[in-house]
Chain A
Amino acid sequence: MLKVEHLTKVYEGGVVGIEDVSFEVPDQQFLAVIGLSGSGKSTLLRCINRLIEPTEGRISWNGVDITAASQEEMRRIRRKIGMVFQHFNLVHRSKVMTNVLAGRLGYVNPLASLVNRFPKSDIEKAVATLDRVGIADKANARADELSGGQQQRVGIARAMMQDPEMVLADEPVASLDPVLADSIMTYLVDINKNDNVTVLCSLHFLDLVHRYADFVIALNDGKLMFEGTPEQITDQRFKEIYGQEAERLG
């Protein structure tokens, strides 16, 4: 169970990222976070693993207070939280294999990893994971030689290497075409349903939300506007979330 209570982030210079956001995510839920660009979706997700330090509020996960964790504790918490990014965030010049193995960095011994040495079990796991996302043949290619869809699969493989209990996906399909988007979402659902991983996924397309999400929260201008199942998003609700001028497509 992930509990977010009164979370607020004010950036340096006074820009408000999110304001007084509270919600709960039961284990193994697929939660979609929707809202316009700049509505605070990324800020919210990054506050959960503290890539961004929240200004106020409290986040607790399975009884552990994430907001109060020390650097060392945070490291141990982060390795159980996988993250998938809109722009994939792969290290371009490194091999696909190295990018995937980077998911184990929180577990392996720091000294050994500095000389690029990973335990045999990790390497086998990486091969298996790449196979699971369907790009086992690309293991030795450089990351920037891959197409966008393939790069996002590497990103998902990296998150899966962490043996995560929760995955934060920040607009994982926003830079991909609809067909690829669908296949990437399938992998996330696969992790959610078969590996029992909680998924928090920010999305643009309501279509995808309807198809994959168990539950939806919506942000507008940093504030929580809506909490409910995808079916509860009526036209009226839609206009509240996206603004009065918005037309519903798809």
Chain B
Amino acid sequence: MRRLRLFAAAAALPLATTVLLVTPARADDPTELIQDELRVAHAPDGTPQTVVISRVVTPEGDVISSTTETIDNPPFRAQDAQFPCLSEGNRPGFGPRKVEHLFYKNRNDMAEFAFFPYAADNARRDPSNYGFSKQWLICATGGADANNGSRTVMTGPGIAFRDSGQTYKLGQNWKEGKTPANYSLNLGFEVPTGFVTIKGQITQTPTAALRGSFRPPFKASEVDAFSRNGANAWWEDSCAPRCAGTGGSSNYQGSVVEALWQFPQDKPVAVSDFALSGFFMHRCSNPFGCR
């Protein structure tokens, strides 16, 4: 019996050594569940960037390891690109602000998100002192497409005004519910804001769920600190978070979210005061790794 144990240990040694020598690439290891959190950023010279915070997590969302990298965005076409989050009928007083993008692509996965901000000066007056207030509305859309055996478990955009101490958010909108199999689902919705109408639209054929929350879908996300001013929406596969085998989607999946905030007119507010995020959780369905 003792000889048998020694033999087994000796046989296992080369295998263990091999495993230690090979550094698994992101999502190559079929045992890993990866949470990629993308965040809008800018280089000092103004170049649009995407910060990718990549976390290996347990199904419960506890972080095993984490890496961060910053990538310059590729040039994007202007707003006439076929993003499924469009504004209609700009009216006096409410105007578009700088559109922001997130983009991330490796050999297996591609994730892309777009954020469309609008602002209206002197939109309302505060009933306590009749001071003017301004409103900001941001519509966000996007998602991810996984290939080479990589599977999307959940993905969607998130927006939050970076203030944890005071609530400025007036409302939010997202699509929610179980999506039926073999049906094309349209996420269209419209919200009149008094000055501008926002229409969000994306078409997909999942057998999964659309969810939304004030809180981000990743419990390790630092954006959670701003949840009182946040809105997040995501597509989630029915296998989440304990996906196995071929669980997850190899098609493009995503969601749409929008929120409205109100600030005192004299409070300086810029697009950079909002945390604009893209969430993408994925795994590798190939037992030999995804390459």
Q: Do A and B assemble together?
A: no
